[in-house]
Amino acid sequence: MTNAHPLEAAASPFEVARTAASDIARLTGVERHDIAVTLGSGWGRAAELIGETVAEIPATEVTGFSKPALEGHVGTIRSLRTAGGRHVLVIGARTHYYEGHGVRRVVHSVRTAAATGATTMVLTNGAGGIRETWRAGQPVLISDHINLTADSPLEGATFIDLTDLYSARLREIARSVDPSLDEGVYCQFRGPHYETPAEVRMARAIGGDIVGMSTALEAIAAREAGMEVLGFSLITNLAAGISPDPLSHEEVIDAGRQAEPVISGLLAKVIERL
Ligand code: HPA
């Protein structure tokens, strides 16, 4: 007997997402959410500032969610209420593509967020910066992406338009909070190794500004679900070869910790205006 993961066994990943959404409604007591936020490295403390916590549940109690593979990623799902009375679903447990469990597991949180009623998906991450003018600890908006995973969350002949995937309207709102916010094109690599300097040069040559291991596949699934997407990267380090120093996971986590108070405040203010 195999003990298949619900997403592997299911005919439709959307059905599993609907079950997960009803788990969330039952466990949080909140029937519908308006906005969903995925917190990547460095963004963890934003939840406290976004609104009051209505409920916090371990992600593992929700159908289809897995334990986070990584230290620095919080494995809880929270339901918050903003000062304006809107319900925000905060996803602290991201499943990364490099974990090798397939794309359904990677985008399950996004599909679940859509099934809870959320029409806006805010995706945040920690990433490497390709532009020399950027510094570790700086948040940037994602303006577009290049998906280098050679994979897609879409199944079958599902043709989805990705023009304006990272909503220009939402980026404008973010810049109304912080006019100094720069923006760039996010390249999703498979990981979990960091890129080689040659790969970073390639990313730059094809139009990339940011290198990371998440977000693009999630953004595609969010668009498929009809959500408006806002993406933020915290530049935790200059990408390999841009910085003369070798990369380390500790450096990434440290940069996140140091930037956390500032970027968390920024994110909370932006969400209040969405
Ligand atoms: N590359 C890929 N992913 C990352 C990086 C990087 O330089 N920094 C943080 N996440």
85-122 tens-digit pLDDT: 999 999 997 999 999 999 999 999 999 999 999 999 99
- Which atom of ligand 1 is closest in space to residue 247's alpha carbon? 7
Token pair for residue 157? 């002949």
Cis peptide before 192 (omega within 30 of 0): yes
User: Measured from the CB, is residue 236 less than 6 Å from ligand 1?
Assistant: yes
Mean residue pLDDT of the chain comes to: 94
Pairing of strands 138-147, 228-238: antiparallel
Kindly give the residue spans of alpha helices, DSSP state H, lying in 185-248: 197-205, 216-224
Domain 6-273 sits in CATH at 3.40.50.1580
Q: Best substitution site from 146, 233, 252 to test ligand 1's pocket, by max atoms within 8 Å of Cβ? A: 252
The list of the chain residues with pLDDT below 70 reads 1-3, 68-74
Distance 54 CA to ligand 1 centre (A): 33
Predicted local distance difference test score (pLDDT) of residue 245: 87
Predicted local distance difference test score (pLDDT) of residue 9: 84
110-147 as b/e: b if 16+ CB within 10 A? bbbbbbbbbebbbbbbbbbbbbeebebbbbbbbbbbbb
- Give, using CA atoms, the residue closest to atom 7 of ligand 1: 128
Distance 14 CA to ligand 1 centre (A): 30
Annotation says 56 is catalytic: no
